[in-house]
């Protein structure tokens, strides 16, 4: 199991996300909750302990890139709409893919989302 897959599995367990979980649970955006968990693990040492903390901290580059390019609306509009349409289960998998791609900063994230835009383009046509 890769580090990204471990991240996705741990995050899903942390927030109680199942394959059929909707994005909004009791008026709470689970995409934002997932990002918040990564942020808490990075900014507040000891918030999570052990392996969970290490896995969540590994996704910091993905979290920063998401904030800059998706939430900040800098990426291609097809990519933004695709990511916003993901279920929380799929969103965890996306962040796990970003961890496996070793996204460490915003520039790496920009290249990741540009590649995603190229892969989504044939589907739109």
| Cβ neighbours of 7 (radius 10 Å) | 27
Task: Tell me how far apart the alpha carbons of residues 39 and 75 are, in angstroms, rounded to a whole number.
Answer: 21
DSSP reduced 3-state for 26 = coil
Q: Give me the mean pLDDT over the 8-20 stretch.
A: 97
* Mean pLDDT estimate for the chain: 94
User: For the segment 27-56, what is each residue's pLDDT rounded down to a tens digit?
Assistant: 999 999 999 999 999 999 999 999 999 999
User: For the segment 75-85, what is each residue's pLDDT rounded down to a tens digit?
Assistant: 999 999 999 99
| pLDDT over 60 at 124, yes or no | no
The reported pTM is 0.93
Inter-residue contact 70 to 110 (CB < 8 Å): no
Decide: residue 117, CB within 10 A, 0-12 exposed, 13-18 middle, 19+ buried: middle
């Amino acid at each position: 199991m890769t580090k990204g897959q471990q991240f996705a599995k741990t995050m899903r367990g942390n927030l109680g996300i199942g394959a059929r979980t909707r994005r909004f649970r009791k008026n709470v955006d689970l995409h934002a909750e997932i990002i918040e968990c990564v942020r808490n693990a990075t900014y507040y040492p000891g918030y999570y302990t052990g392996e969970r903390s290490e896995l969540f901290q590994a996704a910091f580059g993905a979290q920063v890139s998401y904030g800059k390019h998706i939430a900040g609306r800098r990426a291609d509009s097809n990519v933004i709409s695709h990511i916003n349409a993901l279920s929380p289960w799929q969103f965890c998998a996306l962040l796990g893919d970003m961890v496996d791609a070793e996204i460490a900063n915003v520039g790496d994230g920009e290249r990741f989302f540009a590649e995603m835009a190229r892969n989504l383009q044939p589907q739109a046509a």
